[in-house]
Structures are given as structure tokens and as C-alpha cells.
Structure 1
Amino acid sequence: MLDLDLWWLLLFPAFFGLGWLAARVDMRAVLKQAKEVPAAFYKGLDALVDDRTDVASRSLAEVARAHPDSLDVQLSLGKLYRRRGENDHAIRLHQKLLELPDLTAEQKSQVRFELSQDFHKAGLVDRAEELLLTLLKSHHMGKSAREQLLSIYQQDRDWEKAIATARELRSDAHSFQHEVAQFFCELAQAALYQSDYDKARHYVAEAFAANRKCVRASILLGDIEVAEGRLEAAITAWQAIEKQNYEYLAMVAERLFDAHEALGKSQEGIALLRGYQRTFSQLELTDLLYQKVATYEGEAKALEAVREAVHARPNLLGVYRLIEAQMDELSPEGRMDAEVARALVMKHAQKLTVHRCKRCNFRSRAFFWHCPACGEWESFTPNRSETN
């Protein structure tokens, strides 16, 4: 037993010595590799950090010329060309890479995918699509190719292909139900413009099948009902939005009132607007409510309605209406002062009151179902917010 312990004591220094030797060998290998990296690589990396892409592209091109067999360097240079808008350089580089005889199938797929992005960025969408379709069966690039195709089909408004591609991309991580519902809504909107109400109804039903909480489908269904003279059904469709997402009620508020008015139920329409205003103070209903109440109940009631709305949710447009509603009661001098204040409020309201994308913070006075900046669907705030 004593001899065994002695052997262990003798082995411990040997283990430490082997560990020290391995560390020295690894460190020498690292230092050797670091010395082999061209100085232009570090220069290009430094330029990228400083966002000097012109210097970075020249430096990386120098590295690529020195290492023509390094696929990663060549691909990085191609991406940098594309980022700088030098699409012709990127295309030539990737086409030249495809001519290399020793590329593996995986590497060829990667180069073809980069080339498809070059074509897309250059506006050669057909050529990009043609390349991407050849990658769909690729184990490594198939998913990326479908995602790129989906982007192309949305850009081209080819909603049928977009629907098919989104369904192929569906997974536990991303169901694409919101996107597919919006694609069907685009088709329904086009059919409605052409007065093809049966086809529009079919697409709306498909949108609901993809996403039963699709507000846009409810809006379109109400529009179809109105076009076919079924006002009560239209009111039912639009009121369903309250349970789907009440923030979008402001988008159909005037349509709801008009439908009630056409049925001879103007007071019910006003009562509905008042109810929405009191229950959901963030809805942008003040201006509409003022106009309808003033028409059917008089200026005094309209002023009361505006005052209630502004006190519940102070905002510039509400203040504008509040000043306007009281102008007739002022003296000539007071009216002049109020006019200056009203004009100033409206100027700032028009500047600051915008719809905003909740994903990328893009701002616009117009509402979009599809954000023109980041491409997200249903990300725009339906009610304008005051921001700077």
C-alpha cells in the first residue's frame, strides 16, 4: 500500500509537466497563426468598427487576393460589396467562386445563396428567384432560401406564392399565422376592388382560418357586407373587433356610424361612439364624436363630449377641438387670441401626431398594415400617438 502511494506522488509532477508542455505548444500555435494573418485583415476589421466601409472593402480585397482559396474571406468580401451597393462587384465575385472545381456541394449552395441576394439587391428579382428555387432541397440552405423567396413574393405582391412559402416555413418557433392571414386579406382586398364579392368572402374566410383574431379580416368582411347592402351584418362584423383588438375600433368608427345613420339609427351610432370613448380612452375618436354630436345634438352637447374626451386623455387634436368649440362665446379680442392658440396647436399636432411601428419605431402619418421600413405585419399603432 505504501509503494502505491509513493508511485502516485511521483506521477503528480509528471502530470503537471505534461500540462505545462501542452499549454506552451498551444500558445506557440496561436502565435504562429496570428503572425500568418495579413495586416490588411486587421486594418479592414478596424475600418468596419469605425463604419468606414470603403477602407474595409479595399483591405479585405487585398486579403482575398492573397488568400484566393479562403472561401470565408471571399464570402465576407462579397457581403461587404453588397452592403456598399457595389452589386456588380459582388455578382462577379460570387460567379467566379462557383467556377472553382474543388467546392463541396454545401459550399456551392452557400455561394449560390449569396449570389441570389446580389441579384435581389440589384433588382434582378427573376434571377434571384431562379437561384433560390434550386436551393430548396438543400439541407443547409433550404430554410434561408425559403425565407428569401418569401421576401421576394411579398415585394412582388405575389400573395399565392407567399402563402405557400410561409406554410412551408411554418414551425413551432414561428407559425406564420399572422402573415398568412394578411396575405389572404391582400387577396380579399383586391377582389373587393373588382367587386368580386364571392371571392373576397372566400379569402376573408381563409384569413380567419389562419388567424381568427385577424382584425383586418373583420374590417374587410364589414366592407363586403356594406357593398352587398347588408348593413346590420356589417355592423356585427365591425363590432367583433372589440374582442379581437379594441385598439383598431378607431379605424371603423366612422363606418359604424355611417351604417347606423343609413339604417335611421343615428342616436344609436352616437351612443356607440360615446361608449367606446368612455371605455377605451386611448381611441382616436374625439374629432369624429364632436362632428356627429354637433350635427345631431347641437354645439353645446358637442363641447361637453369633447371636454369629457380631452379630460380623459389629453392630446393636441382634442385641445384643438376644445378651443374651436368655444370660439363663438369669446369676445373679438379673445377670439383672435384663441385663433392664434388653435393654429399653433394644430401645427404641432400635425407634426407630432403619427402612427408608429412597434418593432422598428418607423413613423408615418399614414397607416400601414405592412411596415415599409422593417417589413413587419400588424406592427403599426392604429391610433396615432404624439411623439417627437
Structure 2
Amino acid sequence: MLTDGKFVLKIMMELLWLLLPVAAASGWWVAQREYTGKRNGATIRNAEYFKGLNYLIDDKPDQAIEVFTRMADVDRDTAETHLTLGNLFRRRGEVDRAIHIHASLIARPNLTTNQRCCALFELGEDYLRAGLFDRAEELFRELLDQPDYTEVALSRLVHIFQQEKDWQQAITYCDRLERISSESKQRETAHFCCELAEVANQRRQDDAAKAWLLDALARDPDCARASLLLGRLSIRASDYQAAIVALQVVEQQDRGYFPEVIAPLGQCYGALGRLDEWVAYLWEVQQRDHGGRITDALADWLMRQEGEEAALQFLERELRDYPTLLGLRRLVEIKLRRGEGAEYADLKALHCVSTQMLNSAARYHCVNCGFVVKSLHWCCPSCQRWNTIKPMSDLVMKTNA
């Protein structure tokens, strides 16, 4: 006969064996509910994705944005999709929608550091596209301390300062960018110095302008723009000899810009009573460059000093081997002055056509993107590259070897 204690123990053991299957069943039921919950969550999320995609296919971007933005509350794995979606809207030109998506992402507390930095960068790109430079600047400054984004953030800040014409800031950040990248920025910063010199020149601050131009040449010794500006600055100060020295350097720096110095050089030599030296210099350069503006300047000199016949002989000889529109027009002008012969009508028509072509033709082109323009720009309006706009050669063709 069992004592009371042993009887109670026996009852408890029997109840334990009865409860074990119940506990197991209970655990299985809880696990199934958790799995079903996750599966249902994934199903709901997939359904939302398809719903958003259908809105995009039906050209209903506003509804699509609402769906995808709402999904950011589910988990942070959807951030990459939102970033991609925002980029697509920006590329389509729908910058306001891109801003809405990227700004909504940044407001989420559950993003990783990398996701937040990526969203900040993309939002900065959105603001840049929208022309909201102050907002873009704030975001890119925030990214400067992130090693993976420092270089690209600096490049965007340089671009912003260029657009805002804050040249000193552009120089500072461009120098900083050059220190951490392998690409030289000396050409760009030299032009920023020239921009500051132009501002000082307009304010009649000659000493400051000269200092900026010397800084430009220290950064880029081949900066023809700086030499041109130094020459003009010296002309204004009536220091014609200094102007001649500065302007003659242009041909060594970039021969393509030499047509820009022909007239100011003539002005300087004329003011000093040494036009014969100017002509001798033109003859020297003409042996290396048979461009139309040099030919035209020499023909004009010959006509005034030695007469029409000397100018005609020079032009006929030059145009046989190096035909240019400017040279042709000068030739026709001289022949028209000599009388009304049988060829007068034809010459007059030829002069009219050549003049119209010269007046309508672009004089400068970008060697990087091919953009053409009638006036000189130091930064290409199309590709935004510095020092790529060059005077176009007016040489029609070279007929001799």
C-alpha cells in the first residue's frame, strides 16, 4: 500500500507524461504561426511590389511612389529598390518625384550607415538636377567625412561653386580633391584664378588681377588665357612692352589661340612706333601657321605699304597652297577695286557669298564634344570642360606636302 507521498509522486509522473505531447503540439503550433506570419509578410510585400510595378506600367507614377514609399516601413531591405526607383525618376526628368523618394528614405530610422549615405548622395544629385545648389551643398558637405564618398562629394562641391561663381571656394575644394585623387586639377584651378582676375579687372583692381594671373600661370604654365589677360591688363596700363612679352607667349602655349593676339599685338607695336617688328613677327609665325587671319593681316599690311599688286601676288601665291575664306575675300576685294571688267559681276557675287559664309560660320569649337559657337568661351557650355573651346582653323585644305 502506497503512502500519501509516494501516491502524489506517482500521479505527478503520470500527468507529466500526459503533458509532454501537449507541450510538443503547442510548440509546433506556435512555430507554424510564426512561419505562416513570415510567409504572409513576404507574400504581402511581394504583392505590394507587383502592385507598384503595375502602376508604373500603367504610367501612374504617383500611385507607384506611394506604394514603394509605404513599403519602406516593412524592412530596410527595400531601401535599394527605392534608391533605384528614385534614380530612374531623376533620369526621366521627374526630379520632384526623385526628391520625394530619397527624402522619405533618409527619414527612416532603420537604415544602415551605408544606405543612409547612399540616400544622402542621391538626394544631393536630385537637388543638383533641380538647381537647388544650397541644399545640394549641405548634403555633399555632410558626406565629406565618409571615406567612400569624400572624392565624389568634393567633385560635386567644385561643380556647385562653379555654377555659383564662387571661384575661391572652387579653388579650395579643387586643391583638396587633387590631393586625394590621382587626377591633376591645375588646368581647372588656373581658369578659376583667371575668373577672379576678370572680376578684379572689372573693378579696376589691377594689382589683384595681376596677382591672380600670375597664380594661374604658376598652376598651369600653358594657360594661354592668363597670358592674354596679362597682355590686355598691360595695354590698359600703357605698358606696351610688357603686353608684347605676354602676348607673344601665347603662340608657344597654344598656337590655336594665336589669332586672338594678332590685333592687340599690332596695337602695341603701333603705339611704340615699331610696326615693322610686328610684321616681321607675323611673317615668322606664318611659316608655322597659314591661317586665314594671319594671311589677311599680312595682305592688309602689304596693300597699305607696297600697294595692291604686292598684296595680290602674295594672296594668289598663298591661296594656291593654303586656301582660306578670309584670304579669298581679301583677294576678291582687291580685284573689285581695280575696275569693272567682264568678271566684275562674278567677283561681286563671290565676295557676297564669302562674306555671308564668314558672318554665319562658327569661329570656335570644342575639341572634346564638338560644340560650335561664334564667340570664345573658356568653359564649354555643352560638356563643361575647361580650355577645350578653340578657334576653328579656316584653312579649307592644304594642297602641298
State the TM-score, normalizing by the size of structure 2.
0.77
Q: Which moved more, 1:256-265 or 1:165-174?
A: 165-174
Q: Cα gap change, 1:253/1:383 in structure 2, threshold over 3 Å: closer, same or farther? A: farther
Residue 266 (1) aligns with residue 275 (2)? yes
Measured in 2, the distance between the counterparts of 1:359 and 1:269 equals 33
Q: Which moved more, 1:201-210 or 1:325-334?
A: 325-334
Question: CA offsets per residue over residues 217-253 of structure 1, 9 Å max, x none?
Answer: 1111112222222111111111112222222211111
For the Cα contact (< 8 Å) 2:378–2:389, is it kept in 1?
Answer: yes
Measured in 1, the distance between the counterparts of 2:132 and 2:315 equals 54
Q: Which moved more, 1:121-130 or 1:288-297?
A: 288-297
Deviation at 1:107, TM superposition (A): 1.4
Summarize the alignment of residues 250-289 of structure 1 with structure 2, pairs less than 5 Å apart: 250-282=259-291, 284-289=293-298
Segments of 5+ residues of structure 2 without an aligned counterpart are 1-45, 397-401
Measured in 2, the distance between the counterparts of 1:81 and 1:339 equals 58
Q: Which amino acid aligns with 2:113?
A: A
Deviation at 1:61, TM superposition (A): 5.5
Measured in 2, the distance between the counterparts of 1:219 and 1:310 equals 29
Q: Which amino acid aligns with 2:90?
A: R
Measured in 2, the distance between the counterparts of 1:303 and 1:341 equals 16
How many residues align? The count is 345
Q: Cα gap change, 1:183/1:42 in structure 2, threshold over 3 Å: closer, same or farther? A: same
Deviation at 1:287, TM superposition (A): 3.0
- Structure with bigger gyration radius: 2
Question: CA offsets per residue over residues 148-189 of structure 1, 9 Å max, x none?
Answer: 111111111111000001101105631101001111111112
Q: Which amino acid aligns with 1:278?
A: Q
Measured in 1, the distance between the counterparts of 2:50 and 2:103 equals 27
Question: CA offsets per residue over residues 110-146 of structure 1, 9 Å max, x none?
Answer: 1111111212222221111112111111112111111
Q: Which residue of 2 aligns with 1:134?
A: 142
Measured in 2, the distance between the counterparts of 1:143 and 1:299 equals 62
Q: What is the aligned counterpart of 2:171 among 163, 177, 190?
A: 163
Q: Which moved more, 1:358-367 or 1:220-229?
A: 220-229
Q: What is the aligned counterpart of 1:120 among 123, 128, 140?
A: 128
Residue 247 (1) aligns with residue 256 (2)? yes
Q: Cα gap change, 1:57/1:312 in structure 2, threshold over 3 Å: closer, same or farther? A: farther
Q: What is the aligned counterpart of 2:102 among 91, 94, 113?
A: 94
Q: Which residue of 1 aligns with 2:229?
A: 220
Aligned-residue RMSD, C-alpha: 3.0
Q: Which residue of 2 aligns with 1:30?
A: none
Q: Which residue of 2 aligns with 1:290?
A: 299
For the Cα contact (< 8 Å) 1:106–1:140, is it kept in 2?
Answer: no
Q: Structure 1 vs Structure 2: percent identity of aligned residues? A: 32
Q: Which residue of 2 aligns with 1:18?
A: none
Measured in 1, the distance between the counterparts of 2:335 and 2:385 equals 43
Measured in 1, the distance between the counterparts of 2:220 and 2:117 equals 35
State the TM-score, normalizing by the size of structure 1.
0.80
